[in-house]
Amino acid sequence: MNHNALLIACALPLAACNKSPEIHERNASVAEVAQKVRESGAAEIVARPGKWEMTSTVEQIEMPGAPPQAQAYIRENMARAANRSVEYCLTPEEAKRPGGKFFTGNESPGCTFEHFDIGGGKLDAAMRCEREGRNMTMEISGTYAPDSYTTHVAMKTEGGRQSGMVMKLRNEARRIGDCTGKEATGQ
């Protein structure tokens, strides 16, 4: 399973009000989007530091061409891995100065946001990653409020062994308090 989609959703504890700055980027790298967020001043009000709990749910997974037994096995294992709650800490520094890892879980070389739009409590983005003859596209949409967010992520792969795989995830998160120092960090 490509963890970038899950990590994007985990790392988007978007908590802002409708007066937050808006960001509209096109054909931008992950680093460029992170820089734009920092420059806009949105980082300090879009990502509220603290302890967050997120639940990811696999809504759909399709693997054309794979034998039915293999599909059932993969679905079961992916559902078990994703259909759980995790807690993580978004530190004040991570919230104030998000880097590329904030949006994808890693620096994501070979990935470009076709568009990244955020503002007014809504997120809409599309990313394309090209690696070693494989392409992956992700569409991300969601809503956010000061202490919660919901995202929907749709991934599709082309090329390689997983060509044609489609996965849809729903992520729901809420801020549950201050960090204790025992949680994983958002970045």
Per-residue pLDDT of the chain (187 residues; tens, 9 = 90+): 433 333 344 344 333 334 567 889 999 988 888 788 778 766 555 568 889 898 888 888 888 877 888 878 877 877 776 667 888 888 887 777 665 545 554 456 788 999 999 888 898 999 999 888 789 999 999 988 778 889 999 999 988 777 888 989 898 989 999 988 776 655 4
- Spatial separation of the C-alpha atoms in residues 57 and 52, rounded to whole Å: 16
Beta-strand relationship, 184-185 and 84-90 = parallel
How much is the pLDDT for 38?
76
Of 90, 47, 55, 83, give the one whose Cα is nearest residue 183. Answer: 90
Check residue 128 and give its pLDDT.
Answer: 93
Domain boundaries, the chain: 3-178
The DSSP code for 98 is -
